[in-house]
Amino acid sequence: MTASSPAPEDIRPFRVAVPDAEIDDLTARLARTRWPDPETVADWSQGVRVESARSLVSYWEREYDWRRFESELNAVPQFLTAIDGLDVHFLHVRSRNPDALPLLMTHGWPSSIADFLRLVGPLTDPAAHGGEVADSFDVVIPSLPGFGFSGKPTAAGWDVTRIAGAWAELMRRLGYTSWTAHGGDWGAAVTTALGAMQPEGLLGIHLSTPYAFPEQIPDTLTPDERRAVDGLALYAGPLGGSNHVQGTKPQTVGFALADSPAGQAAWIYEKFQSKTDNHGLAEDALGVDTMLDAISLSWFTNSAASSARIYWENRSATMAGPKLTLPVAVTVFPRDIPRLPRSWIEAAYSNLVHLGDAERGGHFAALEQPEILVDELRAGLRGLRVQRRTG
């Protein structure tokens, strides 16, 4: 990975360039994988099935093309800038429409900037993708601290509030005086923190993961509210193994994931299996190359431990986020876990400007249903364009 020498408040061009020796090392490690004994159940309740992991790792070793993905990344303008003592890596694409609405997009875990690559064209050049010129966005897509090509914190303290402050500074540094923000998963937590902070210029936000649970769960629940409570129990319980480990001992698991690409693959693969809108396999919702793009990015940047620490930094966080008063747009995806009801979303966001119910999709909305998310971003943030022109 290459970049020029830093200077205060400099924004430096960046390109991805993984050395051939690192790709050869990955291939050799994959060929030497020592496999665990098979699971003792016929489902995924004990975790990734050995047969499925073998198939994924075999494809990674023999067929996957990192250089293809590297070229896709390098086709989008990338930059580094130092904020609060840490290099922040980000994609930045300006629309040819001078009235484009700036949009800051934040990914979650185990996601990355790669989640949003298929959204860049439709958002910045909607007329070329079946949309209207009036719905143009400038897009800014940073890598979270400790993720991908961003710097890795060397001291504690990078919680979502601090990240939100860094993102506000990034938008200021790019010269945007009015802008919007979107996020899902941890990206939604950062975006929610931005909404609570209301930095200068932030017009409103869009969330695909609303942090809108009530502080106290009511004794009497509607069916939709009961489904949300049950979904949270599933998320925190049977599906929460990696979350618990990363929230308590991220460094310990980091040793294994930094040393074993097969282990890194299984760690991320299980999340795609359990949280996508699939029919029994992650591959029903996501292409194998798409999953391996995310896995390879984590491997080549050796960011398993540093990205896991976002759980440790925010270990006291809950799904009951702050009440927000700025304009908020929300899209609910049917197979998200937990899936929140309209009643709680309306209670949390007093200025709810849009609430969309997607027909398809799970927790990884940008990867699973990029077209739907693009349409929802256009619809949900459209009213803020008028506010930007008249405000």
Residues assigned a catalytic role: 185, 311, 363
Q: How far apart are the first and last CA of the chain?
A: 42
Distance of CA 81 to the CA centre of its chain: 20
- At 142, give phi and psi (nearest 5°): -85, 150
Cα three-residue angle 144-148-150, rounded to 5 degrees? 55
Task: Specify whether the CB–CB gap between 73 and 16 falls below 8 A.
Answer: yes
Distances (CA, A) of 322 to 180, 195, 215: 18, 9, 9
| Residue 310 near residue 144 (C-beta atoms within 8 A) | yes
Task: Kindly list the distances between the CA atom of residue 329 and the CA atoms of 99, 115, 158, 190, 378, in Å, as whole numbers in the listed order.
Answer: 21, 20, 26, 15, 10
Can you tell me the distance from the alpha carbon of 103 to that of 352, in angstroms, rounded to the nearest whole number?
18
Q: CA torsion sign, 119 to 124 to 125 to 127? A: positive
Query: Rounded to an integer, what distance in angstroms lies between the CA atom of residue 227 and that of residue 363?
Result: 16
Question: How many other C-beta atoms lie within 10 A of the C-beta of residue 145?
Answer: 24
CA 339, CA 9: separation in Å to the nearest integer? 40
> Quick check: 232 and 356 in contact, CB under 8 A?
no
Instruction: Compute CA distances 291 → 120, 294, 322, whole Å.
Output: 19, 5, 33
Please give the Cα distance from 204 to 351 (Å, whole number): 10
